Chains A and B, each alone.
Chain A
Amino acid sequence: MSFIPGHPVTAVVQRIEIHKLRDGDNLILGFSIGGGIDQDPGQNPFSEDKTDKGIYVTRVSKGGPAEVAGLRMGDKIMQVNGWDMTMVTHDQARKKLTKKNEDVVRLLVTRKSLETVVRQSMMQH
């Protein structure tokens, strides 16, 4: 995935559907996010491009709904339930993920390995 500011992003994405786990009054997903347009992108350990202000998955709880659904640490979240996550603030991203009336979130995530896999498979042909 190449990230050039001002240009549309093309990326190989994976669709991940996470069913929130109800814990009393809370709905938890079981992962943590970092990043946002209001954050300092240089501190993001997962991004390839250190100017990338996207939302990244920084931690996935073991056995949690996110892990079960296939989310991995280091993934960049592109969309949540149709909402764009590439140009949002940290808090906006968090809010989109934690809506109380939604039991399921459908994410579009991308990671480096996806692109490698696709490229490899394309080369084979």
Chain B
Amino acid sequence: MFCRNQTARATIARGSALEMEIRRGKFRQSVFMESPQDSDIQKKIDYEIRMREGACKLLAACSQRDQALEASKSLLTCNARIMAYMSELQRMKEAQVMQRVARRSSDAGPMDDRSPCKAKVAISDLRIPLMWKDTEYFKNKGELHRCAVFCLLQLGGEIFDTDMVMVDRTLTDICFDNKIVFNEASPGFELRVELYSCCSEEDYSAGNTPRKLASKLSTSLGRSSGKKMRGTLEPGACSPTSNGGGAAILLPVPSVPGPKYHLLAHTTLNLSHVQDSFRTHDLTISGNEECSFWLPLYGGVCCRLAAQPRCMTQQMMSGCLRVKLGGEPQGWTNVYGVLKGTNLFCYHQKEDMEANVEPVLTIGINKETRIRAAEKDPHSKAQNICISNQYGGEEVTHTLAADSREDTQLWMEAFWQQFYDMSQWRQCCDDLMKIELPSPRKPAIVTPKQGALYHEMVIDTSDDIGTVTDILARRIEEFELRAQLGSPPHWMSLFDEDPPRSPHNHQHLPPHSPSPCHRTPGLLSSNASLTSDSDSPVSVSPCFRQAWSPDTSSSSGRFRPRTLSLDAKLSTLRGRGYGGFRCNCQPPTAGSGSPRPTQTALFCSSSTSSSSSSEGSNSQESDLGFSRPSGARRSLRNLRAKLDPRNWLQSQV
């Protein structure tokens, strides 16, 4: 019975001196000269130092806010990497010292021990939900509180950072598209995920402010804004690294002006969190509402953490075997066996495997498999290997034999190692988890991920919801501008003449009415724009709300971004466009005596019955044939219209 030698195996901490002792072979030269690993790490440290200098220079030189944020991010990453390398270097030096000590005392005997295989660990599709409160909407009405965030991921000695994302009120989740793959992870790995954020408001880019002026400003500003100013002016990115022993390079940490990132939240993932699908993990949040870099996080992070142990992806053992196939009790078939993943594939010949021909026999090797060495076969020189599997209640045993005793030993060793790896990597060895290789960076056309509706919009720049809002707003403005090319608002003309003579004016107005009608969607959109749903698609009533801004040219600066679901915005946009087109098709029946329009068709949203707006009014009027909308809808519209003080409402009675 295959028995793992429990007593002989001890758990050894990775990176400890004892582990180094076991790998004596590699480190023997290190006693006399610097080991290759040392010089590797030294090279990496030097490289990172150079990168850091470059980032500092860039930070000092750049004027654009975005560039400064990017440079600050690379600076933080470089610092983190340097620290990681330095601590690893220190550990290695320590190990060498310990090793020399241990050899002298010679108390450590040879260890017959296994180390589990390494794995590729990939983390992707990071998503951090946000939880904006109502108070966020109504607080700083004017400007939008924006933060730049990115994630720093650390596993072992490898540190990667994600791209930077700008976050503001219009975002419901922070999404990072990066796929990050760590190549050398052991079963006890700890993947540390850190979320850094930096407030991104124009006032606080203290890059070029002279110190005296800056301190004066910070003291003369209000308490909270002064605090923020002083925070950004604080020098020093991270604590200077100081190593106790070994090759300590005390690096002077340069104090750079510019945006500074702060740790907002962190969490640590390990083997138990690995799964082939998305999972949510808790975040530990540091900081509070008073900090400038604060964001209202929901408290979790959703991501896909997958691991591919080497034992699942690589051939662990291969060689010639003889298999007793069913039918002939004494017949042995020569096969070429390959142990990979959870299977032992037996091919006719080695070339078959390379040619991807189907194997003759596939024997499952998993946690349930039992392998034992049988008694010595009198005919052969070596022991047989019996592999037993349970296939639905039945036990199926395959008998294999290697050519020589040494081969048998090698195969058994390979099987033991495989079992060990599987026990260490647990759920990762049930099935192979797919890991996509991160594609080389290129400016990709990204569509927002939030659902099928949004795929209809072609967004050619970044994938931020904020950008989408901007694009929508721009489209609306373009529409307005096009609409305004017509005559000036008609009511201007009425101011020149007395009201009683208005019937006279009506004759002039019919030619104008197409253009006001054409303008109406634009005007309606002016300041109510993205916020009010006064043109919600279905409701029409004699008394619906209209927004009127006589000064439409300045409306572009007026709209206030709000967190509205994108499909509400899209439907208003569509409706508006639809309404606008509709009204072009209707000939104004200005001369009709009936106040009611001749059309009773249902218009989508901004219904424009031009006939009844015989005065060519520049506000819209719904079809009078409709019943009032439900009270709930109207009250919601009322509420929204009322809440926006920039509207000057008009109601039709």
Q: Which residue numbers of A lie inside 8 Å of B, CB to CB?
A: 21, 23-26, 28-36, 38-40, 43-45, 58-65, 72-75, 90-91, 93-94, 97-98, 111, 113
Contacts and interface: CB of A to CB of B under 8 A. Distances in A.
B596 interface: yes
B319 to A, nearest CB: 87
A38 B651 CA distance: 14
Given A31-B653, A32-B652, 5 more contacts: A28-B624, A31-B652, A58-B650, A59-B619, A61-B615
A64 B652 contact: no
Contacts of B614: 61-62
Contact of A72 (B499, B550, B628): B499
A98 B653 contact: yes
Contacts of A24: 625, 627
Nearest to A66: B653
Given A62-B615, A63-B595, A91-B638, A33 B542 contact: no
Contacts of B495: 45
Interface centre among B546, B592, B615, B652 (most CB of A within 10 A): B652
A34 B619 CA distance: 12
B279 to A, nearest CB: 50
Nearest to B594: A63
A74 B500 CA distance: 11
B411 interface: no
B469 interface: no
Contacts of B621: 32
B602 to A, nearest CB: 15
A25 B627 CA distance: 7
Interface string B242-271: 000000000000000000000000000000
A74 B546 CA distance: 17
Contact of A62 (B590, B645, B649): B590
B502 to A, nearest CB: 7
B608 to A, nearest CB: 14
B494 interface: yes
A98 B649 CA distance: 16
Interface string B584-628: 000000101111100000000000000011110101010011011
A32 B651 contact: yes
A40 B646 contact: yes
A111 B651 CA distance: 20
B595 A62 contact: yes
The 6 lowest CB-CB distance pairs between A and B, nearest first, are: A43-B648, A72-B499, A64-B595, A62-B614, A34-B650, A97-B653
A26 to B, nearest CB: 6
Given A34-B648, A58-B650, A45 B491 contact: yes
Nearest to A75: B499
B130 to A, nearest CB: 33
Interface centre among B503, B595, B628 (most CB of A within 10 A): B595
